[in-house]
Amino acid sequence: MIGAIFKGLGTTLKYLFRKPVTVEYPDVKRPVRERFRGRHQLKRFANGLERCIGCSLCAAACPADAILVVPAENDPAAPHSPGERYAARYEINMLRCIYCGYCEDACPTNAIVLEHQYEISFYDRKSSVLTKTELLVAPDRGHGEIPPILQQLNRRPSPPAQIDL
């Protein structure tokens, strides 16, 4: 019995000199995995045009019915996106979203991406609905090819069939 007590004391003493496993969260942020699915972003092409063409396939694919897309016709003189239509309204209800990533898979232009941002809490329920202005990246942040985060989609055993304009 005495031996067991001293063995226990030895164990606790040993742990006293170990580094704690705690990650001090607001100060230290753990990096997320490459395929981590966080807050959505609507991407742009390299020339600044929106990738979203207002096809509503993401809204159709969404199992939680979190996405609302209201398409509109592009003005040929000053188009929002290549092609005929663009999303006049694009809203995601973050209280409904389950971060399954089906919208990424469904999107034919790789417009919607679940990015790595995970600090998406809010104070009132109205701010749970992200509007297009909040989702859309800045005009100079466009990509010529598939957005880097979505590269991993192509490395999956059966990459989704997608067109890139």
Partner 1 sequence: MTRVDIVILIVKCIVLALAATGVFAYFTLFERRLLARMQNRVGPNRAGPAGFLQPIADALKLFFKEDVTPLLADRRVYLISPAFAIVPALIIWATIPLGMWPDGRGGNWLQLAEVNVGILYLLAVTSIGVYGIAIAGWASNNKYSMLGGVRASAQVISYELALGLAVLGAVMQAQSFSTAEIVERQTLMWNVVPQFLGFVVFIIAATAEVVRAPFDLVEAEQELVGGYNTEYSSMKFALFFMSEYVKLVAMNAIAVTLFLGGWQFPGLQTLAAAATQQYGFVIGNAVLGLASLGAFLLKVMLLSFVSVWVRATLPRVRYDQLMDLGWKVLLPLSLANVVVTAVLNVFLPDSPVVTAIAGLVIGTGILLATAAIGRPGKEKRRVTLVQG
Contacts with partner 1 by CB under 8 A lie at 1-2, 5, 8-9, 11-13, 15-16, 18, 20-22, 24
Nearer to partner 1, 18 or 30 (CB): 18
The residues pairing with 89 across neighbouring beta strands, listed in sequence order, are 70
Cβ count within 10 A of residue 62: 20
- Tokens 């880097």: give the residue: 148
- Tokens 């997320």: give the residue: 32
DSSP string, 48-59: S-BS-----HHH
- Shortest CB 29 distance to partner 1, Å: 16
- Shortest CB 5 distance to partner 1, Å: 7
Nearer to partner 1, 15 or 123 (CB): 15
Q: How far is CA 10 from CA 1, 33, 81, in A?
A: 14, 37, 67
CB 15 within 8 A of CB 91: no
Nearer to partner 1, 6 or 122 (CB): 6
Nearer to partner 1, 29 or 35 (CB): 29
- Shortest CB 165 distance to partner 1, Å: 50
- Shortest CB 30 distance to partner 1, Å: 15
